[in-house]
């Protein structure tokens, strides 16, 4: 039966994440963006929210009941309201941990999952995006060829979050090039493996506080057991779709903050004797921003609900993610426009959201629900 | 718990209505587009027979449900989903054809106003007719030549004279006005002012029965689309109606307060999402058509690929699909709130604004993408483009919905944000 009401558990997640975002993340957002560094204290406090360990069952040393896409998109929206870079940094282990939990072999689960259930934040990286203008997850150029007891990985990646800081990178490579999504597998590759080289930290337009790296693979050899799901491999489209849900939820949260900021500014800023929000030119922009933020959230919820119900959700997740990317850009642009010249100044947060927003069209992987 | 699964009851209704729309409505859609002012009477009789009080939940309940609840023994508390059922049903029937669906017999907006602010006696007197043997229509007359969205500017007057109200003025754009007043024993709810100086507080709804002397239909409009539905002008010249045909209190209690007006306007919080559902039905018809055509031609839409690899066609179709779904979800949220007794004025306006804009765009794009096939009257697509435009206009234009949304988001009164 159709309902839009959050469960008690979801309300609690929402409240906890929301106050963490307001009390700790947002106040540090600007400094983190300027310096490129996130204060360790924020991450260790954020880790205490237990979002990763809370999804991992006890048998793998976690304290949760398994993956729950809806719970996670609700959490991600709140965290991205606080700051996108910090949210992505804090949840960098999700792609590896949740992929393993969802599709790993028993051995992979036992070996890897307990690492992300400790009291200390543990980063993990994901290498999916590649440095080509026409990059598309259905046509990945990095290849993994089987050679006896090993896979040999060759290719180049970029936008791998926290690659240098992590012990493991989940690397997506084509085992059957030309087969689209079905031809892609994931490999758990320890950082430091021969043939894998992590380059200098990337300089991006937005999410500047999130450390991302390019990685090149030259005859990088990993054992067969490194393949996610072992002999059977894994369902790449499903993992990709889970990460698209996460990114779309982040876009909703960040855009909601931009909307709220624009709303408050339009109420307070006076021009020609009255608040600029009293003019339809501004008010209508804000109304459309509000409608689109809500619309995107509902698209994300519906896709996440399908995911949790075990229904097909790849199409819904893709539509939601693309919609979210467009929405975030529209909202980001208008939040700058509404502040006029002030929006262009780095004293104000809107230009940061505007830069971050453009990333959603490019980001794939990086975070997962 | 967040849930997007329709209940078995609504699903069954949805399937039934879809079959009906496909088999009984779609095939005659073109005929009634090209023969404006003709009516599908056989279909009306069938609709009336099988759906009783005119699609019940669809355009305001006929009062039956409430009655049944009161008379019946105390039963387990089930969450209400009347309005959701209405939205789902409307989407299906409008998928069949918007003009014909709009012209269906039933209480309509007028009935919804009686339902929202009538006394039990009035509900009985005005609404019981919808369960009779013959199709009947209820209509609503708000708009005037000089007052559209600006309803506070209504100039039609109502003056109490003994036991009667005397109405004078002119109403335009009355949907199903002819059906209600000339083709059946229906009524029209007329908004008139009892005190022009009182502004909004002086504006009251009055029920005027068919055949009341002094009331005359002066024009039947020719329209861009939804041609099966009649839209009329009505003039009132010393039109006398019983004193107790006023809905709500006649008192202009406090000129600074507008409770009566607000209450009656609350009708629209219920009907706005339903108008959004109408739009979504038409949009889905267009989207289904274009997707089926592409499928027949072997053109694949590659969902899941990155935007930088999409063809223009793929990008457009995906955007249309996402927009339509977003509009539907916003609509479902608005009706769900109503079913659960939550204030939904903001969400109702958001849904109506999104649906109206999305669907006019979807149908316009669909015509463009289908090239000469889209422009040809051989297919219904061009008709859907014409039909859908009304959804961005009636029951509050898209701009009015944005205005209402913006006021609520910004926390501004209508004086602060005009």
Residue B54 CA, distance from chain mean position: 13
Active site residue B378: no
B7/chain A closest Cα distance in angstroms: 5
pLDDT average, residue stretch B226-236 = 97
Secondary structure tally for chain B: helices H, strands E: 16, 7
Q: What is the pLDDT of residues A227-273, one digit of tens each?
A: 999 999 999 999 999 999 999 999 999 999 999 999 999 999 999 99
Strands A184-190 and A150-161: unpaired
Question: Are residues A136 and B403, on separate chains, in Cβ contact within 8 Å?
Answer: no
Question: Are residues B330 and A298, on separate chains, in Cβ contact within 8 Å?
Answer: yes
**Nearest CB to B406 within list A1, A286, A320:** A286
Which helix (H) or strand (E) segment is A336 a member of? helix A314-339
- B5 is written with which tokens? 């699964």
Q: What is the pLDDT of residues A28-87, one digit of tens each?
A: 999 999 999 999 999 999 999 999 999 999 999 999 999 999 999 999 999 999 999 999
The answer to whether residues B365 and B316 touch, using CB atoms and an 8 Å cutoff, is: yes
pLDDT at residue B265 tops 90? no
pLDDT average, residue stretch B367-382 = 96
- Please name the residues in contact with B223: beta carbons below 8 A apart, sequence gap of 6 or more: B36, B231, B390
Matching residue, tokens 């790849």:
A314
- Please name the residues in contact with B150: beta carbons below 8 A apart, sequence gap of 6 or more: none
pLDDT at residue B57 tops 90? no
pLDDT average, residue stretch A151-175 = 98
Q: Which residue of B has its CA nearest to A325?
A: B307
pLDDT of amino acid A34: 98
Of B355, B342, B339, B385, nearest in space to B273 by CA: B355
B316/chain A closest Cα distance in angstroms: 12
A77/chain B closest Cα distance in angstroms: 16
pLDDT of amino acid B69: 45
pLDDT of amino acid B52: 61
B136/chain A closest Cα distance in angstroms: 32
Strand, helix or coil for residue B64: helix
Which residues of A are known catalytic residues? Answer: 364
pLDDT at residue B195 tops 70? yes
- What mean pLDDT, rounded, does chain A reach? 97
pLDDT at residue B358 tops 70? yes
Strands A125-127 and A168-174: parallel
Question: Are residues B5 and A181, on separate chains, in Cβ contact within 8 Å?
Answer: no
pLDDT at residue B132 tops 50? yes
pLDDT average, residue stretch A289-308 = 98
- Of A293-307, B108-122, B346-360, the one with minimum mean pLDDT is B108-122
pLDDT of amino acid B263: 63
Question: Are residues A319 and B325, on separate chains, in Cβ contact within 8 Å?
Answer: yes
- Of A335-349, B22-36, B254-268, B304-318, the one with minimum mean pLDDT is B254-268
- Long-range CB contact pairs, B386-389, < 8 A, 24+: B386/B224, B386/B225, B387/B97, B387/B98, B387/B99, B387/B225, B387/B226, B387/B282, B387/B363, B388/B98, B388/B225, B388/B279, B388/B282, B388/B283, B388/B286, B388/B359, B388/B360, B388/B362, B388/B363, B389/B224, B389/B225, B389/B360
**Nearest CB to B326 within list A290, A299, A305:** A299
The answer to whether residues A318 and A242 touch, using CB atoms and an 8 Å cutoff, is: no
Q: Which residue of A has its CA nearest to B308?
A: A134
- Please name the residues in contact with B269: beta carbons below 8 A apart, sequence gap of 6 or more: B338, B343, B344, B345, B348
**Nearest CB to A3 within list B2, B330, B410:** B2
pLDDT at residue B51 tops 80? no
Of B75, B66, B84, nearest in space to B7 by CA: B84
d(C-alpha B51, C-alpha B48), whole Å: 5
Could you tell me where the beta strands, DSSP code E, fall in B72-186? Answer: 138-141, 157-161, 164-175
Neighbours of A115 (CB within 10 A): 16
Cβ–Cβ contact B318 with A under 8 A: yes
- Comparing B73 with B19, the larger pLDDT belongs to B19
- B131 is written with which tokens? 């369960």
Strand, helix or coil for residue A155: strand
Matching residue, tokens 């949260």:
A253
pLDDT of amino acid B250: 85
pLDDT of amino acid B67: 44
The answer to whether residues B103 and B176 touch, using CB atoms and an 8 Å cutoff, is: yes
- Of A314-318, B76-80, B120-124, B287-291, the one with minimum mean pLDDT is B76-80
Strand, helix or coil for residue A36: coil
- What mean pLDDT, rounded, does chain B reach? 90
The answer to whether residues B91 and B277 touch, using CB atoms and an 8 Å cutoff, is: yes
* CA end-to-end distance (rounded Å), chain A: 24
pLDDT average, residue stretch A190-197 = 98
Cβ–Cβ contact B139 with A under 8 A: no
Strands A270-271 and B164-175: unpaired
Cβ–Cβ contact B320 with A under 8 A: no
- Comparing B147 with A114, the larger pLDDT belongs to A114
Which helix (H) or strand (E) segment is A329 a member of? helix A314-339
Question: Are residues A1 and B302, on separate chains, in Cβ contact within 8 Å?
Answer: no
Question: Are residues B326 and A284, on separate chains, in Cβ contact within 8 Å?
Answer: no
Residue B310 CA, distance from chain mean position: 37
């Amino acid at each position: 039966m159709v309902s839009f009401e959050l469960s008690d558990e979801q309300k609690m997640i929402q409240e906890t994440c929301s106050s963490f975002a307001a009390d700790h993340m947002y106040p540090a957002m600007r400094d983190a963006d300027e310096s490129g560094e996130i204060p360790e204290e924020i991450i260790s406090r954020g880790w205490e929210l237990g979002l990763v360990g809370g999804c991992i069952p006890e048998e793998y040393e976690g304290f949760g009941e398994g993956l729950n896409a809806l719970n996670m998109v609700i959490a991600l929206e709140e965290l991205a309201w606080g700051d996108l870079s910090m949210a992505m940094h804090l949840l960098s282990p999700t792609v590896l941990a949740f992929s393993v939990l969802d599709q790993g072999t028993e051995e992979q689960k036992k070996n890897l999952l307990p690492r992300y259930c400790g009291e200390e934040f543990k980063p993990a990286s994901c290498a999916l995006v590649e440095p080509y203008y026409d990059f598309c997850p259905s046509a990945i150029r990095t290849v993994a060829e089987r050679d006896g007891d090993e896979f040999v990985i060759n290719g180049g990646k970029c936008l791998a979050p926290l690659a240098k800081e992590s012990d493991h990178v989940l690397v997506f490579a084509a085992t059957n090039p030309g087969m689209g999504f079905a031809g892609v597998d994931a490999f758990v590759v320890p950082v430091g493996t021969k043939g894998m080289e992590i380059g200098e930290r990337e300089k991006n337009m937005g999410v500047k506080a999130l450390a991302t790296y390019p990685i090149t693979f030259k005859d990088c050899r990993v054992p067969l057991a490194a393949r996610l799901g072992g002999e059977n491999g894994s369902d790449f489209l499903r993992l990709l779709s889970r990460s698209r849900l996460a990114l779309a939820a982040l876009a909703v949260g960040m855009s909601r903050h931009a909307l709220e900021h624009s709303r408050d500014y339009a109420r307070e800023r006076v021009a020609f004797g009255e608040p600029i929000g009293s003019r339809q030119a501004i008010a209508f922009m804000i109304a459309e921003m509000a409608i689109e933020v809500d619309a995107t959230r509902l698209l994300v919820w519906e896709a996440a609900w399908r995911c949790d119900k075990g229904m097909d959700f790849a199409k819904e997740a893709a539509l939601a993610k693309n919609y979210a990317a467009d929405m975030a850009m529209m909202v980001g642009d208008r939040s700058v426009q509404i502040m006029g010249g002030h929006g262009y100044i780095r004293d104000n947060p809107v230009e940061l959201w505007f830069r971050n927003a453009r990333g959603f069209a490019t980001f794939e992987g990086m975070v997962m629900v | 718990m967040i849930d997007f699964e329709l209940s078995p009851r609504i699903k069954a209704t949805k399937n039934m209505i879809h079959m009906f729309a496909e088999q009984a409505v779609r095939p005659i859609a073109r005929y009634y587009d090209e023969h404006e002012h003709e009516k599908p009477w056989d279909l009306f009789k069938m609709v009336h027979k099988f759906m009783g009080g005119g699609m019940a939940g669809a355009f305001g309940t006929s009062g039956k449900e409430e009655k049944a609840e009161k008379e019946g023994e105390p039963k387990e508390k089930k969450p209400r989903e009347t309005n959701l059922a209405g939205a789902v049903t409307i989407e299906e029937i409008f998928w069949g054809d918007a003009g014909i669906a709009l012209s269906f017999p039933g209480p309509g907006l007028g009935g919804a106003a009686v339902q929202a602010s009538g006394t039990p006696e009035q509900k009985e007197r005005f609404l019981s007719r919808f369960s009779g043997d013959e199709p009947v229509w209820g209509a609503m007359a708000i708009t005037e030549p000089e007052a559209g969205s600006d309803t506070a500017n209504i100039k039609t007057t109502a003056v109490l004279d003994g036991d009667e109200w005397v109405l004078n003025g002119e109403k335009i754009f009355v949907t199903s006005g002819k059906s209600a007043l000339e083709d059946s024993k229906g009524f029209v709810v007329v908004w008139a002012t009892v005190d022009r100086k009182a502004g909004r507080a002086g504006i009251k709804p009055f029920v005027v029965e068919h055949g009341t002397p002094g009331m005359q239909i002066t024009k039947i409009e020719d329209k861009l689309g939804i041609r099966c539905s009649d839209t009329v002008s009505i003039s009132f010249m010393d039109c006398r109606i019983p004193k107790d045909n006023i809905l709500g209190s006649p008192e202009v209690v406090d000129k600074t307060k507008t409770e009566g007006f607000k209450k009656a306007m609350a009708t629209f919080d219920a009907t706005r999402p339903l108008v959004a559902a109408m739009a979504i039905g038409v949009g889905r018809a267009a989207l289904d058509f274009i997707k089926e055509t592409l499928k027949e031609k072997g053109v694949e839409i590659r969902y899941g690929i990155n935007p930088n690899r999409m063809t223009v066609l793929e990008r457009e179709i995906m955007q249309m699909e996402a927009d339509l779904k977003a509009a539907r979800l916003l609509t479902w949220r608005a009706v769900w709130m109503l079913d659960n007794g939550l204030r939904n004025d903001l969400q109702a306006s958001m849904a109506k604004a999104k649906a109206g804009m999305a669907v006019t765009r979807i149908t316009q794009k669909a015509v463009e993408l289908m090239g000469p096939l889209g422009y040809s009257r051989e297919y219904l697509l061009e008709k859907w483009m014409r039909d859908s435009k009304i959804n961005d206009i009636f029951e509050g234009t898209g701009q009015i919905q944005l205005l209402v949304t913006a006021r609520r988001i910004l926390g501004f009164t209508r004086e602060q944000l005009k």
